[in-house]
Amino acid sequence: MAYYYRLGNIPPKRHTQFRQPDGSLYKEELVSSKGFSGIYSNLYHIHNPNNVLKIGQPTPYSWEPAKDHGLKQTHLKTAGVATTGKDYLSARKMLMMNNDCMMGICTPEQRKMDFYFKNADGDELIYVHDGEGVMYSQFGKLEVRQGDYIVIPRTTIYRFEFKEEGPLRLLIIESHGPIETVKRYRNEVGQLLEHSPYCERDIRPPGALVTEAEKGEYLVQIKKGGMLHPYTYGHSPLDIVGWDGFLYPYALSIHDFEPITGRIHQPPPVHQTFQAWGFVICSFVPRLFDYHPLAIPAPYNHSNIDSDEVLYYAEGEFMSRKGIDRGSFTIHMGGLPHGPHPGTVEKSIGAKETHELAVMLDTFRPLFVTTQGLEFVDPAYPMSWSE
């Protein structure tokens, strides 16, 4: 994270005595990255965070790349999907993957989780396409709403409570490495620069600490090594009285991303929102089009020699694509040129603005459709550039 934050009560010095009202010690927990060399936070528990009552049998929780999909431009039609599973974990359907990341959808029937989840395999980026609610974690209460990116560092213990009314649709990206703000947007001490398309004022950390002191049985489903490991603890993971540091979940609304525009068409890096190992995330938001007198608003044809490009279409009408719905994915593979559909370039000339919203994932290693993703493939898409 880009800045220091604290909630609740903490002692004046780290690793010193901090006593509860009954005289016993609060239990300090360091949550750190890169061993002891990356960002970290210190949390103070009422109970011992290692107080495990029982450990259940692990169950497989992983996805496999489809072996016979081949090299072709791909459209995944997920717009008509009502629900993808009963609860938050069974509803997570990863549609694309490589060794650096996975990307998919989640539309659970149950709006409130009756367990906690900890992803020990990777950081998560969740885009709330539809819905609103609250994410509870040991770092506090984070209110989330449509258009939010939620960045969840690995090993964060959390659960969602979404409102019952209205649609619910989540886009989920899991990253093998940390998901961070963009390095070129930051100065030498980590502050977001004046010309960054968003700043710390737009980033929403947890707003209030939720402390649950009661003992009981609390299930935490831990994802590690492609398995779900059910751990039952003797107290709530939310037994925190205070914490401070740089590592914590936060939300950033796509509506707070300020677009960078120019006289001629700007390339996707101007839309970059996050960086991670092996990929970047970009946000396409409502903006004015190019203002050169001979500008062509539609994007030019592009051959990406070392990236695969995914666009998730959230809102609006994309001038360069035909047959794309809200909730569609397009995957344009490295090694093949891609660009506007026939007729869309001339049609775009003279357009002054766009009201589109989309999330883009660009990987630097090949990305594969999963076996679960095959059911959403549009077989006509690879030939859709034919005149």
- Catalytic positions: 265
Q: Is there a binding annotation on residue 308? A: yes
For the beta sheet containing 272-276, the strands, ordered from the edge strand earlier in sequence to the opposite edge, are 74-77, 328-332, 308-315, 357-363, 279-284, 272-276
12-16 contacts at long range (C-beta below 8 A, 24 or more positions apart)? 14/42
Q: Beta strand 272-276 with 250-253: parallel, antiparallel or unpaired?
A: unpaired
Q: Which residue has the tokens 């370039």?
A: 345
CA distance 78 to 320: 19
CA distance 381 to 188: 45
CA 183 to chain CA mean position, Å: 18
Q: Is there a binding annotation on residue 271? A: no
Both structure tokens of 327: 């909730």
C-beta of residue 327 within 8 angstroms of C-beta of residue 349: no
CA dihedral 145, 150, 156, 160 (to 10 degrees): 20
Taking every pair of Cα atoms in the chain, the longest distance, rounded to a whole number of angstroms, is 78
Length of the chain: 387
**319 CB-near residues (< 8 Å, 6+ apart):** 297, 298, 340, 344, 347, 348, 351, 354
Q: Is there a binding annotation on residue 332? A: no
Binding-site residue ranges: 302, 308, 338
Binding-site residue ranges for homogentisate: 338
Binding-site residue ranges for Fe cation: 302, 308, 338
